[in-house]
């Protein structure tokens, strides 16, 4: 039995190159982080060899004595990390990732073609919250359920709760989804609860981006108001790639969420759990209860604040004017440039972030903004000073992109700019035609 270097030098080399890229770049993608060596050890362990369909004590395979112990430990730590009373809340730690976790909730509490409302993707929502265009139902969520997105008030960059309420009263959704992939502010869960109650809908929060911040109590607590909370485990929570679903134990709207959700995960949509991931997740949930983790999450927020202030000083327009969490969304349109080209130029300088739609954008292919997150570089030890310098680097990148744009017509820069020009985004490029 050989190690990777002997068994497969080709894959070894690719991993080494990726490791070097991660090490050398300024990693500013808001949904990424660096997990710990301990988590990676668990993920790379013999736990990957075991089948364990079912739940602890109720498996369809033998030999699960230790896997049961592990999954129960992971569940207990998940509830403890989010300060939940195990009599009132339960959790399923088997979802393979965030999108499957969300779809599992939908199939648990909805019938095909029931109505849902989530934040529109061009306004910061996630594909799995029901994204569709005028011409196409894009995600499975919008194919199998009827989706009516809510949006931001474009003048403030904040969720337009008044419009959500008016629309919900007419559309009568069975599920309202809070949570986002690119929203720099807290959700008003109390308001959303009222709207959900008024129309008889379940209220779910997808806290994928901010779950680390929730665990550390540095943002509002969605568990106070929501019936179901889903999350990925690899973003601000800093665990391995995976997902979790938290559910209220008492029936909601006549539905026993515990059995509906557990059955939706298995046998509904998944087979054997990824036990190596559950092992890594248990480790990260232990970290998430430590004072160091709380201090880290406080720094994630203060670093992001420093980045936002510096960008404001430099004259950038930030969606909603700033940030309460781990990300800022910069509207580059007033600068006369788009997010796609800036992303590409910064990539050439090993600054990794992503282009992002901003409210009012016409094209998803060449969106007008960039999303910048603080979790990963905070893990790498960046302080506020580091994030102020990062804002200055980004500003330099924007200036270079503008200069290139100014010089381009008829010059030798044409080829360079072709390279820099908005790259195809395989899923979304079809949407603008
Ligand atoms: N939910 C939100 C809010 C997300 O931002 C993401 C991913 O970025 C997901 C769900 C999906 O997670 P995954 O990519 O693990 O399926």
Residues with CB under 6 A from ligand 1: 31, 97-99, 126, 128, 179-181, 206, 208-209, 232
Question: Cα separation of 337 and 324, whole Å?
Answer: 26
* Percent of the chain scoring above 70 in pLDDT: 94
Closest atom, ligand 1, to C-alpha of 182: 5
CA of 371 to the centre of ligand 1 (A): 15
| Out of 284-298, 308-322, 356-370, least confident range | 356-370
Q: What is the pLDDT of residues 153-207, one digit of tens each?
A: 999 999 999 999 999 999 999 999 999 999 999 999 999 999 999 999 999 999 9
Chain-wide mean pLDDT for the chain?
A: 93
Q: Whose CA is nearest to atom 13 of ligand 1?
A: 98
- Alpha carbon of 391 to those of 308, 310, 316, 346: distances in Å? 8, 6, 10, 12
**pLDDT for res 413:** 55
**pLDDT for res 135:** 85
Q: What is the pLDDT of residues 222-278, one digit of tens each?
A: 999 999 999 999 999 999 999 999 999 999 999 999 999 999 999 999 999 999 999
Phi/psi at 419 (5° precision): -65, -40
**pLDDT for res 363:** 72
Q: What is the pLDDT of residues 1-10, one digit of tens each?
A: 789 999 999 9
Expressed in percent and rounded to 5, the helix, strand and coil fractions of the chain are: 50, 15, 40
Enzyme catalytic residues: 51, 53, 206, 232, 235, 241
**pLDDT for res 410:** 54
CA of 240 to the centre of ligand 1 (A): 13
Handedness of CA 162, 166, 169, 172 (dihedral sign): negative
Sequence-distant (6+) residues with CB within 8 A of 255 are 108, 109, 202
Pocket test for ligand 1, best of 139, 181, 187 (most atoms within 8 A of CB): 181
* Percent of the chain scoring above 90 in pLDDT: 87
Q: What is the pLDDT of residues 127-168, one digit of tens each?
A: 999 988 888 888 999 999 999 999 999 999 999 999 999 999
**pLDDT for res 428:** 35
Q: Whose CA is nearest to atom 9 of ligand 1?
A: 98
| CA proximity to 209, closest of 176, 235, 238 | 235
Question: Cα separation of 16 and 59, whole Å?
Answer: 38
Q: Which two tokens stand for residue 389?
A: 């310098």
**pLDDT for res 1:** 73
| Out of 252-261, 282-291, 423-432, least confident range | 423-432
Average pLDDT, integer, range 13-21: 96
In the predicted structure, residue 212 carries a pLDDT above the cut 90: yes
Q: What is the pLDDT of residues 111-138, one digit of tens each?
A: 999 999 999 999 999 999 998 888 888 8
Handedness of CA 133, 137, 140, 141 (dihedral sign): positive
| CA proximity to 375, closest of 180, 209, 208 | 209
Average pLDDT, integer, range 350-379: 92
In which band, very low, low, confident or very high, does the pLDDT at 417 lie, cut at 50, 70 and 90? low
Q: Whose CA is nearest to atom 4 of ligand 1?
A: 181
**pLDDT for res 22:** 93
DSSP H or E segment with residue 16: helix 9-24
In the predicted structure, residue 307 carries a pLDDT above the cut 50: yes
In the predicted structure, residue 429 carries a pLDDT above the cut 60: no
Question: Cα separation of 118 and 179, whole Å?
Answer: 8
pTM confidence score: 0.94
CA of 281 to the centre of ligand 1 (A): 16
In the predicted structure, residue 371 carries a pLDDT above the cut 90: yes
| CA proximity to 90, closest of 290, 267, 244, 208 | 244
Phi/psi at 177 (5° precision): -115, 120
Question: Cα separation of 405 and 416, whole Å?
Answer: 10
């Amino acid at each position: 039995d050989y190690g990777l270097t002997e068994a497969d030098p080709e894959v070894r080399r690719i991993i080494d190159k990726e490791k070097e890229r991660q090490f050398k770049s300024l990693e500013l993608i808001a949904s990424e982080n660096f997990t710990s060596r301990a988590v990676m050890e668990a993920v790379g362990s013999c736990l990957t060899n075991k089948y364990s369909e079912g739940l602890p004590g109720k498996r369809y395979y033998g030999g699960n004595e230790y896997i049961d112990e592990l999954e129960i430990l992971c569940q207990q730590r998940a509830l403890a990390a989010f300060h939940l009373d195990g009599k009132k809340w339960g959790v399923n730690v088997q979802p393979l990732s965030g999108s499957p976790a969300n779809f599992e909730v939908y199939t648990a509490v909805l019938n095909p073609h029931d109505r849902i409302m989530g934040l529109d993707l061009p306004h910061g929502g996630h594909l799995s919250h029901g994204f569709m265009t005028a011409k196409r139902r894009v995600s499975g969520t919008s194919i199998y359920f009827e989706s009516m997105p809510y949006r931001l008030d474009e003048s403030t960059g904040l969720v337009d709760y008044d419009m959500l309420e008016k629309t919900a009263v007419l559309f009568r959704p069975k599920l309202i989804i809070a949570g986002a992939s690119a929203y720099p502010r807290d959700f008003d869960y109390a308001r959303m609860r009222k709207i959900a109650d008024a129309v008889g809908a379940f209220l779910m929060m997808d806290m994928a981006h901010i779950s680390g911040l929730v665990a550390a109590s540095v943002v509002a607590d969605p568990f106070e108001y929501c019936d179901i909370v889903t999350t990925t485990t690899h973003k601000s929570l800093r665990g391995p790639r995976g997902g979790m679903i938290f559910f209220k134990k008492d029936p909601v709207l006549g539905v026993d969420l515990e059995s509906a959700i557990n059955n939706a995960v298995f046998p509904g949509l998944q087979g054997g759990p990824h036990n190596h991931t559950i092992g890594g997740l248990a480790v990260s949930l232990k970290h998430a209860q430590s004072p160091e983790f709380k201090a880290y999450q406080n720094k994630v927020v203060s670093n992001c604040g420093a980045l936002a202030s510096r960008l404001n000083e430099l004259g950038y327009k930030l969606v909603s004017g700033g940030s309460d969490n781990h990300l800022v969304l910069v509207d580059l349109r007033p600068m006369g440039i788009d997010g796609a080209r800036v992303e590409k130029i910064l990539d050439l300088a090993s600054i990794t972030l992503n282009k992002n739609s901003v409210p009012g954008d016409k094209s998803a292919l060449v969106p007008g903004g960039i999303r910048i997150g603080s979790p990963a570089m905070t893990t790498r030890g960046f302080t506020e000073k580091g994030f102020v310098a990062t804002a200055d680097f980004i500003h330099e990148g924007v200036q270079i992109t503008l200069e290139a744009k100014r010089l381009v017509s008829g010059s030798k820069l044409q080829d360079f700019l072709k390279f820099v020009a908005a790259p195809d985004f395989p899923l979304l490029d079809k949407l603008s035609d």
